[in-house]
Structures are given as C-alpha cells and as structure tokens.
Amino acid sequence: MQSPRVPQSTTFRGLLFDKDEITLMIAEKEYEAHKNSGLLQGPEIDVGKCPYRLITFDVVMDPDLIGFMHAVTQTLAAERISVLPFAAYSRDHIFVQEQDFEKAMVALNRLKQAS
C-alpha cells in the first residue's frame, strides 16, 4: 500500500521542539502576515536578523544512510558557508545565509558531479 502524498506547498515550514526552545521556520512574508494575529506571540520571539535561503535535497533518503550530511557540511565549510540543517524523515534540508546561497549551490553542484 502506498503512503498518502503530502500536498505540495510553495512555502517551507518547519517546527522543532526540544527541551530548551521551540523553533518555527517560516518565510519572512508569512511571519509578517501573522505576527500581529496572536498566533506567533510569546514571551521570547527572536526573529533571525539575517535572511536565509532554503536548499532541499529532494530525493528520498534511506534512514540508515551514513555520511550524507557530513559530506554536505564539509563541502560548505570549505567555502566558509555556515549551515542550519533541518531534517525530515526521508528528506534533508539546509538553510544558508542568503548572501551565500549562490556560492553554496555552486559548491553543492560540484559535490554532486564528483559523486
């Protein structure tokens, strides 16, 4: 039996809960549209000061895959590009600072061609 497909969205949204914080990753336009709605209010809302761009590795990855993110982060670290990783069950995503996006894509395309 095939699993149901998640409807396509043009906007990435990520929600992460850990013991210290709740992280909500949404587009700036979406944040601006909702910031006064009461939905996003709280005692400590920290909005990132640097715009980020999303890069999605749009292939289904085996949960037992070892070393994929290491190769990605090592490649980008060599270019002095910082990364915010965000993983789903079968796909990985990274955020890079907007100013580094083109440089990151060039480096990742080189990595892809070398594989």
Q: What is the CATH number of the domain that holds 75?
A: 3.30.2130.10
Length of the chain: 115
**Domain membership of residue 66 as a residue range:** 14-114
Model-level pTM? 0.72
Whether 66 maps to a domain, the answer reads: yes
Amino acid (one-letter) located at 52: Y
Sign of torsion over alpha carbons 102, 106, 107, 113: positive
Whether 2 maps to a domain, the answer reads: no
Domain count, the chain: 1
Tokens describing residue 109: 């395309």
Burial grade of 96 (CB within 10 A; 0-12, 13-18, 19 or more): buried
Whether 82 maps to a domain, the answer reads: yes
pLDDT of residue 90: 80
Q: What is the pLDDT of residues 31-88, one digit of tens each?
A: 777 777 766 666 666 666 778 888 988 888 888 889 999 999 999 999 999 999 988 8
Whether 87 maps to a domain, the answer reads: yes
Q: How far is CA 13 from CA 19, 23, 46, 86, 92, in A?
A: 20, 10, 17, 11, 13
Whether 6 maps to a domain, the answer reads: no
